[in-house]
């Protein structure tokens, strides 16, 4: 099994005719993802062609869902239009919207969060690498890749990975694969201060997934999401969890890379997060290169 997406998940790409969206739609098709539709207003009736496959393009998400049965979308639209794109997916009744776009105004995301309350749609992101459920084929092909993660580093297996950092997601996955250990699903939740899915949301899903036997959780300075997840893990999680916190050398008051990676008012420090991990029985990797080995030793 896997969480959130499976190899047969039907995916549409919002912004499929832009250079970035087109490139990653091609890579997802190459990976074996069931890309069934594209959405670009004003280009309905055209086709996106790649590798012998013709993907129909629609003017709206609602029309694409009605015609193709898509249940998930990847959002590759400019920051100014991303909030509307996310809400269009929610209004169309998608199960999952994965917003890759970076630089969305925080106020836009606050409005999106409020508007999505009570809706069936789950949002991953924004400013995230997306989600991958590896397949059975060579280099894990035949799985579901929504976003920008390099598909070839994945291997089908039983370790769940959740991370705020895209590059550290890839590092953890590659460490596991290099050791012959596969992944159930890998989720990059993004580094913005207001996002759709938290560490805790994903940890709960991994905990309930019978085929996920271990978890790597990667966090960073800023916010309290990692501490909240650690508190829940201590009381409820039935599976070994290893973690890493990025930003131990970051100076207070300075934003580091991600919009949400800022320590202010003495909160959100790496030291506090690491202490919470240790108190919860989470194995703490000292450096990024130790992430996989820390989990495997626990198992």
- Residues with catalytic annotation? 258
Residue position matching structure tokens 């869902």: 65
Q: Tell the burial category of 54 from Cβ atoms under 10 Å away from its Cβ (0-12, 13-18, 19+).
A: exposed
In contact, 263 and 249? CB cutoff 8 Å: no
Q: If you write DSSP's letter for every residue of 126-170 in order, what string do you get?
A: SSS-EEEE--SSGGGTTSEEEES--GGG--EEEEEEEES-HHHHH
Nearest Cα to Cα of residue 17 among 50, 63, 65:
50
In contact, 8 and 207? CB cutoff 8 Å: no
What's the maximum distance between 2 C-alpha atoms anywhere in the chain?
56
Tell me the C-alpha distance between 141 and 35, whole Å.
Answer: 14
């Amino acid at each position: 099994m896997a969480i959130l997406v499976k190899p047969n998940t039907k995916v549409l790409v919002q912004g499929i005719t832009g250079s970035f969206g087109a490139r990653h739609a091609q890579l997802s098709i190459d990976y074996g993802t069931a890309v069934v539709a594209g959405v670009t207003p004003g280009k309905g009736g055209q086709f996106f062609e790649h590798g012998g496959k013709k993907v129909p393009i629609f003017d709206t998400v609602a029309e694409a869902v009605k015609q193709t049965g898509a249940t998930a979308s990847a959002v590759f639209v400019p920051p100014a239009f991303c909030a509307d794109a996310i809400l269009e997916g929610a209004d169309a009744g998608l199960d999952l919207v994965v917003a890759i776009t970076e630089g969305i105004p925080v106020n836009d995301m606050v409005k999106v969060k409020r508007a999505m309350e009570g809706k069936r749609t789950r949002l991953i992101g924004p400013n995230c690498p997306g989600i991958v459920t590896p397949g059975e084929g060579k280099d894990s092909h035949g799985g579901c890749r929504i976003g920008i993660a390099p598909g070839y580093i994945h291997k089908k297996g039983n370790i769940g990975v959740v991370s705020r950092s895209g590059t550290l997601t890839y590092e953890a996955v590659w460490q596991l694969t290099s050791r012959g250990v596969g992944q159930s699903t890998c989720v990059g939740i993004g580094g913005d201060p207001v996002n759709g899915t938290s560490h805790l949301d994903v940890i709960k899903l991994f905990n309930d997934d019978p085929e996920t036997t271990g978890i790597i959780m990667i966090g960073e300075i800023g916010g309290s999401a990692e501490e909240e997840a650690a508190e829940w893990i201590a009381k409820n999680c039935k599976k070994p969890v290893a973690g890493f916190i990025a930003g131990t050398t970051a100076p207070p008051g300075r934003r580091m890379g991600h919009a949400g990676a800022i320590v202010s008012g003495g909160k959100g420090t790496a030291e506090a997060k690491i202490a919470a991990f240790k108190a919860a029985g989470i194995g703490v990797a000292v450096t990024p290169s130790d992430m996989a080995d820390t989990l495997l030793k626990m198992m």
